[in-house]
Chains A and B, each alone.
Chain A
Amino acid sequence: KQEVTQIPAALSVPEGENLVLNCSFTDSAIYNLQWFRQDPGKGLTSLLLIQSSQREQTSGRLNASLDKSSGRSTLYIAASQPGDSATYLCAVRTGAQKLVFGQGTRLTINP
């Protein structure tokens, strides 16, 4: 059974810092890995999707890496801003479009 773990559960940093969020998964047989953002009272928004054959994806100040063999992914946020405050979730696709989510990292960027 696939299990996804995110560390830390919560993170608070001052504005402008670079930061890394971690995600690990137990079964390396995945189709892809996605990072989502969730704002309070709202649904999830997809940030980055990494196919199993890829090593990383970049979008603006966000960079996600994938090491499938070790079951790890990181989300790097450069030059953090207060607007980046949200919960970040990683999810792996195991087949038939089924996503297994981690519990999320609640990020607070302090002005």
Chain B
Amino acid sequence: EAGVAQSPRYKIIEKRQSVAFWCNPISGHATLYWYQQILGQGPKLLIQFQNNGVVDDSQLPKDRFSAERLKGVDSTLKIQPAKLEDSAVYLCASSPPGLAGETQYFGPGTRLLVL
């Protein structure tokens, strides 16, 4: 079974530029999550999708971050404009429906450096 795919793996941009990350969850997984992990900290949930609807985006900085999940499969996370404090690893995770959804499966992450 293929895991959660993310691209790009690394990105370096200057502040005020825009950047987008892509995530392809495990086939059949209804729930998709985006996390931000700043160096030395645990992941923080940015947004959670159930199919193509948003379940929780309470910690998403909506003035600069946006996310979408087209057709309930792939998802993109965008930052516009980026700030220095956005430097972090952005992790995508997915979970299957039902009780099996107890466990989330994580992708390798996209490491973003904002200069």
Contacts and interface: CB of A to CB of B under 8 A. Distances in A.
Contacts of B43: 44, 89, 99, 101
Interface in A30-53: 32, 34, 41-46, 49
B107 A104 contact: no
- Residue of A46, A96, A99 most packed against chain B (CB within 10 A): A99
B41 A98 contact: no
A105 B40 CA distance: 9
Nearest to A43: B106
A34 B106 contact: no
B31 interface: yes
A97 B30 CA distance: 12
A4 interface: yes
A49 B108 contact: no
Interface stretch (B12-20, B62-70, B95-103): B95-103
Nearest to A34: B103
Contacts of A102: 42
A43 B106 CA distance: 5
A77 interface: no
Given A4-B42, A44-B93, A96-B48, 7 more contacts: A41-B111, A42-B109, A44-B91, A96-B56, A98-B48, A99-B104, A102-B42
28 contacts: A4-B42, A6-B42, A32-B102, A34-B103, A42-B108, A43-B4, A43-B91, A43-B93, A43-B107, A43-B109, A44-B43, A44-B93, A44-B106, A45-B106, A46-B104, A46-B105, A89-B43, A96-B48, A96-B56, A97-B48, A97-B102, A98-B45, A99-B43, A99-B104, A100-B45, A103-B40, A103-B42, A104-B41
